[in-house]
Amino acid sequence: MDEVDQGRVWQHTRIGLALNPYRRIEADGSVVRDVGFTTQLMDYCRQQLGPQCVLENNSIRWPPITGDMAQVYAKMQQLGPPISFQTAIHPKSAT
């Protein structure tokens, strides 16, 4: 959230917020995906920066990712533009 807050200084610059389901590390060392935190961060960015906040994902692919990522995409769609995507490289083609 501090990063989003700092974006207010750059009033004429779009601020890209790359999004994936947040991974929280629990006290026992296990990792839990927290989509709720991710969606709260999207809301916060838009509340603080308005259209200066660009919601981004850098791993979109076909067929689309389901599960938690589908929830992130749905929230991005709900909040609307500006939105930016970068395609993921298929693991078999990466060298």
Q: What are the sequence ranges of the domains in the chain?
A: 2-87
Chain centroid to Cα 45, Å, comes to 10
The pLDDT confidence band at residue 92, using thresholds 50, 70 and 90, is: low
Closest CA to 82 of 56, 62, 44: 56
The pLDDT confidence band at residue 77, using thresholds 50, 70 and 90, is: very high
Give the pTM.
0.84
Place of tokens 């078999």: 92
